[in-house]
Amino acid sequence: MNDDYSSKWGYRLKWLYTLLVVTTLMLPVFFVMYISFNENGFGARDYDFTFEWYGLIFSDLLMMEAITSTLNLSAITVIFVVPMGLITAKLYKITQYPLAVISLMLSPLFVPSDILGAALLVFFKNLNGAFTLFGEWVGVSWFDTWFDLGYFSAIVGLIIYTLPYVFVVILITMGRYRKEQTEAARSCGATAWQAFWHVEFPQIKTGVFSSCAFTLILCFNEYTRTSLLKGGFDTFTTVLVSQMLNEGMSEQSYAMSSLVSYIAIAIIGSVIIFTLVRSERLERIARAKAEPLMAS
């Protein structure tokens, strides 16, 4: 909080600094949006406004398939990783060895992504080889494709990548939760599940939903591990990177990138606005209820 004796210019400079940082970070995104409406594409001298590239997004089959794969990978990863993160965060809260839990959970963050991706690639290749050999030994071909590179291996890579983040995000919201409330619910007759669902979950759901959104964004961004582990299909990021390296991004890619940014900004913006409006509304209600008491 700004006190009466602090410099007003210091306060203004802090605001200016914050705005500058955010603008610098967001400027490239806005530039991509700007290009996506140019009929003449990236690098052209003339700028003619058009929606044409957005119309052509759905006709770019490679991009559409990549987006579909990315969405599938992200959704499946969320389904697995969020409950995993939640369970581990609950373990952290009750264990006598919290340091051990946090060290284990955060350890994937300390391994560079390309090394972890390569390690997983070697692991799956060997595992696949071992199962294929086992299949040959027992005379069946059933095991041959179990650990082929594909969706499964890519999802394992994404889970390993995103689990520490999910764990930390949920743990932060769980930090304010007091276990006495679970005990109070149990004392009212609730089973362990009912106590969790009725009392604990409503108080940590912000963290759970935030971790879902965070996982989706991380999965969308992820390149190194996914490109090593995906096998034969493409994702949005691998297509973008491949285009950039080989022929430069197509105009549809700019439109698609912008579209993804619009959706992300709209979702996150709505959540923030909803939260602020709700908090203001609750505060107004609380003030209205408190006024008669204050007056008496």
Partner 1 sequence: MSEKNEIAVEVKGLSKSYGPVQAVKSIDLQIGMGEYFALLGPSGGGKTTLLRLIGGFIRPTEGQVFLHNQEVSHLPPNARPTSMVFQSFALFPHMTVEQNVGYGLRLKKVASDEIKDKVANMLKTVGLDGYGERMPHELSGGQQQRVQLARSFVLETDILLLDEPLAALDANLRRDMCIELKRLQEKIGMTFIHVTHNQEEAMTVADNMAIIADGSLVEMGKSSDLYENPIRRFTADFIGENNIFDGQVSKIEDDVIHVDLGSSSIAVLSRGQKTSVGDKVSISVRSELARAIDTSTSSTEPLETLSGIHRESVYLGLTTSELITLDNGQEVLARQISDRYGGHTIANGTSINVGWRQQDGRLHIS
φ/ψ of 49, rounded to 5, equals: -65, 135
Q: Provide, rounded to whole angstroms, the least separation between the CB of residue 288 and partner 1.
A: 10
Query: Do residues 221 and 213 make contact, with C-beta atoms less than 8 angstroms apart?
Result: no
Residues 210-269 that bind partner 1 (CB under 8 A): none
Contacts with partner 1: how many residues (CB under 8 A)?
A: 22
Q: Which of 238, 273, 263 is nearest to 33 (CA)?
A: 263
Shortest distance, position 88 Cβ to partner 1, whole Å: 23
Minimum distance from residue 274 beta carbon to partner 1 (Å): 16
Find tokens 């913006």 and name the residue: 269
Does 10 help bind partner 1 (rule: CB under 8 A)?
Answer: no
DSSP annotation string for 198-259: IIIHHHHHHHHHHHHHHHHHHHHH--HHHHHH-TT---HHHHHHHHHHHT---HHHHHHHHH
Q: Does 174 bind partner 1 (CB under 8 A)?
A: no
Cβ distance to partner 1 smaller for residue 157 or 207: 207
Q: Is 38 helix (H, G, I), strand (E, B) or coil?
A: strand
Q: Where are the beta strands (DSSP E) in the chain?
A: none
Q: Is 178 in the site for partner 1 (CB under 8 A)?
A: yes
- Nearer to partner 1 among residue 145 and residue 181 (C-beta): 181
**186 part of the interface to partner 1, by CB under 8 A:** yes
Written as six digits, the tokens of 95 are 């264990």
> Per-residue DSSP letters for 97-122?
-HHHHHHHHHGGGGS-HHHHHHHHHH
> Which of 217, 218, 212 has its CA nearest to residue 261?
217
What the block records as the tokens of 23 is 């603008």
Q: How far is the CB of 275 from partner 1 (least distance, A)?
A: 14
CB 286, min distance to partner 1, A: 5
Selected from 75, 115, 263, 286, the binder of partner 1 by CB under 8 A is 286
Part in contact with partner 1 (CB under 8 A); list of ranges 218-226, 229-237, 261-269, 282-290: 282-290
Task: Select the residue interacting with partner 1 from 71, 190, 213, 217 (CB under 8 A).
Answer: 190
Q: Is 275 in the site for partner 1 (CB under 8 A)?
A: no
Residues that bind partner 1 (CB under 8 A): 178, 180-181, 183-192, 194, 198-199, 202-203, 282, 286, 289-290
